[in-house]
């Protein structure tokens, strides 16, 4: 069953747009490099529900083929490269993994 790896970001104040663009590029580049990773989407909350986001102002949804792919994803060099920049951007993150029937 596919796994949706959802990460919410509370960005630090004053993060430059070009740094966010660099993070997005790094994250999307993981597809094709990380075994089992089939898709990465990144963006802010929708305006209609942003008031319920508890200050989290960006999210990532990574889709992996199966639960066992999470371990390799977590330690893969391409993920660590994106994670390195995430550490500079965020004051807090929240992770939630969800298995979804195909």
The pLDDT assigned to 20 comes to: 93
Instruction: Report yes or no: 9 and 57 within 8 Å, Cβ to Cβ.
Output: yes
Q: End-to-end distance of the chain based on CA atoms, in angstroms?
A: 6
The pLDDT assigned to 102 comes to: 74
| CATH, domain range 6-44+55-99 | 3.30.70.100
Q: Which residues of the chain have pLDDT under 50?
A: none
The pLDDT assigned to 87 comes to: 86
To which H or E segment does residue 39 belong? strand 37-43
């Amino acid at each position: 069953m596919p796994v949706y790896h959802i990460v919410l970001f509370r960005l630090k104040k004053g993060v430059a747009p070009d740094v966010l663009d660099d993070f997005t590029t790094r994250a999307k580049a993981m597809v094709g490099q990380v075994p089992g990773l089939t898709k990465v989407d990144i963006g802010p909350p929708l305006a209609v529900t942003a008031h319920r986001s508890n200050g989290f102002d960006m999210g990532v949804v990574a889709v992996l083929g199966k639960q066992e792919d999470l371990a390799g994803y977590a330690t893969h060099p391409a993920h660590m490269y994106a994670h390195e920049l995430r550490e500079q951007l965020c004051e807090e993150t929240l992770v939630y993994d969800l298995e979804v029937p195909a």
